[in-house]
Amino acid sequence: MLPVSLVLVSDYESGEKSWADERAALVAYLGDPNGVPAEVIVMESGLGAAGPPVIPQDIAALAPQVRVCFADTTSSSELKDAALAYCTCDLVAVAEADCIPLPGWLAALAEEIRQEQGFSAVSGRTTYQKDTSLMRVLSLLDRGYMEVSDEGRYSHVCNNGAIYRKEFLKKHQYPLNEISPFVSAEMRQIEMLNAHARFGFRSDAVMYHAFGGLGFVYDVRRNKGYQAATMISKGEPRGSAHIVLAAVRRTIEDDWKTVRRTSRYFVKRRDWLLLALTFLAVRIPEFIGAWQAARAPHDFAAATAYR
């Protein structure tokens, strides 16, 4: 058993709560032959017209190793922070329920952060599971930025799944009342880097992010456009048109850096034409997300499945 508290939170709810993601994730973590977490905290929102969701019997039966806890918020970022009150280990892994780790994911991250005392957090590689051209291209564009480093130093910690020192997490919590978890993740990351945090990375620690079709891709990229526009407007409020154009330019620059530095890990030579077409196509939902950030943030909140 690994001396790690694992926090599981769902940040994407496209319909009625089914617990399918949580079930699949728990099977993967609790059945890992390389080591299982000492405890698992599944955090859920206690808000809703009908009150807290009913815990399925098969998940309730996993107690005391697995506990389902509730907090009065619908924000996945705030749920992650609320889970710290229930964690008893000095190392805390925070993962999203729709990401399934391959065997050894948690053990590799725990080993890395314990061996390198200077790391505040360690992430692994995230991809989409199917080995097709489209999945390889989208894995690169949506997840490859995690692996961009400058002289071996990583500037991102993965919001989908990473391990942290608990005291570090307590000092650097997510900002409150942010509509998009993409925005809250970036704001927290900036705070961490300003505090001189060091992030580690293990390419052999792999998790598969669920893929919900083209509608899911649209929502991801619209959130990225919203994220870019929101961060730009926080730094220097300007006219709406300027914010939108600057946001799309930022996403293009970020994606191009990702392609230049990490494409060899994700795509094959035959994928490059599709990569070029996809690189252009994702600017449409990003433009829409940036426009909503500048002009109609409440419309954005109502339309996205991210919470």
Q: What is the CATH number of the domain that holds 84?
A: 3.90.550.10
Given 164, 193, 209, which residue is the final one in a domain? Answer: 209
Distance CA 253, CA 271 (A): 20
CB 121 within 8 Å of CB 227: no
Amino acid at 178: E
Q: Are residues 242 and 298 part of one domain?
A: yes
Q: Are residues 93 and 60 part of one domain?
A: yes
Q: C-alpha distances in angstroms, 297 versus 18, 248, 275, 289, 301? A: 28, 17, 30, 9, 6
The domain in which residue 253 lies consists of 214-303
Q: C-alpha distances in angstroms, 9 versus 194, 266, 286? A: 26, 27, 25
Q: Are residues 240 and 202 part of one domain?
A: no
Arithmetic mean of pLDDT, 100-106: 98
Q: Are residues 222 and 198 part of one domain?
A: no
- Domain count across the chain: 2
Q: Are residues 235 and 182 part of one domain?
A: no
Distance CA 147, CA 171 (A): 25
pLDDT, tens digit (0-9, with 9 covering 90-100), for 275-287: 999 999 999 999 9
Distance CA 101, CA 21 (A): 12
Q: Are residues 223 and 205 part of one domain?
A: no
Given 150, 174, 209, which residue is the final one in a domain? Answer: 209
Q: Are residues 131 and 10 part of one domain?
A: yes
Whether the model clears a pTM of 0.85, i.e. scores above it, the answer is: yes
Token pair for 243: 């914010």
Q: Are residues 260 and 146 part of one domain?
A: no
What is the predicted pLDDT for the residue at 226? 97
Arithmetic mean of pLDDT, 188-214: 96
Arithmetic mean of pLDDT, 227-255: 90
Given 190, 209, 228, which residue is the final one in a domain? Answer: 209
Q: Are residues 250 and 179 part of one domain?
A: no
pLDDT, tens digit (0-9, with 9 covering 90-100), for 120-155: 999 999 999 999 999 999 999 999 999 998 877 899
Q: Are residues 281 and 189 part of one domain?
A: no
Q: Are residues 77 and 111 part of one domain?
A: yes
**pLDDT band, very low/low/confident/very high, at 234 (cuts 50, 70, 90):** confident
Q: Are residues 218 and 204 part of one domain?
A: no
